[in-house]
Amino acid sequence: MMKEIIQNAIQNSFSYAEYRKLASDLVAQGKPTGHDLSEALAHYAELNETRMNRLEKTITLTDAVIQTLQNSSKNVIWLVLAESWCGDAAQILPVLNKMSEASNTIQLNIVLRDDHDALMQLFLTNGAKSIPKLIILDAQTLNVVADWGPRPLGAKQLIEEYKATHGVVDETGKIELQKWYLHDKGISIQQEILEIMRQF
């Protein structure tokens, strides 16, 4: 059952370039991806389009990350659940793309969360459909090797502390989170995923 859900997701997935084109085309129409076409999510999708354009130009991989990725002989598929309105996805996807481009053994596939609920249900975070969620699969068997997400540890702690203090994550909390990502420059994402990759 799980294998079928994964196979179906891969068959209906986007490459990074295809995902970016879809998100950009929808932003031009004032829409986000997904089933909720609210004005608020359309606004976030527009902000994220700008963020991703910037990150694609500015994100750099560390030498250690490049070396490890180039030396890896394990063929894997990185299957990522995302949506264009998700601020964390906008920060993380460009880093994952850079990492997959630096490797000959990583295939990056992106699927929309709302279109793949069966897959999302298998990878909930504390019962919630939190994205982005990276599922690392053995390319030959499609067995799940590991999963990661929806955000790096430092960002997760920031949100947990903000929630504990304020009760909710409001606009100010979201701005604090984006500042954290800006300051981190994608380093935590690279290191955490590299740690996972070293384990298999």
CB 22 within 8 A of CB 59: no
Whether residue 200 is predicted with pLDDT greater than 80 in this model: the reply is no
Residues in the chain: 200
pLDDT digits (tens, 9 = 90+) for 142-177: 999 999 999 999 999 999 999 999 998 898 999 999
Q: How far is residue 166 from each of residues 14, 89, 120, 170, measured CA to CA in Å? A: 37, 24, 28, 9
pLDDT digits (tens, 9 = 90+) for 38-81: 999 999 999 999 999 999 999 999 999 999 999 888 899 999 99
Amino acid at 191: Q
Q: What is the pLDDT of residue 15?
A: 98
| Dist. CA 43–CA 87, nearest whole Å | 11
* Strand 133-138 versus strand 76-82 pairing type: antiparallel
CB 64 within 8 A of CB 194: yes
Which single residue is written with the structure tokens 């920060």? 91
CA 119: distance to chain centroid? 15
- The pTM is what? 0.95
Domains and CATH numbers, the chain: 2-150+188-198 (3.40.30.10)
Q: What is the pLDDT of residue 72?
A: 86
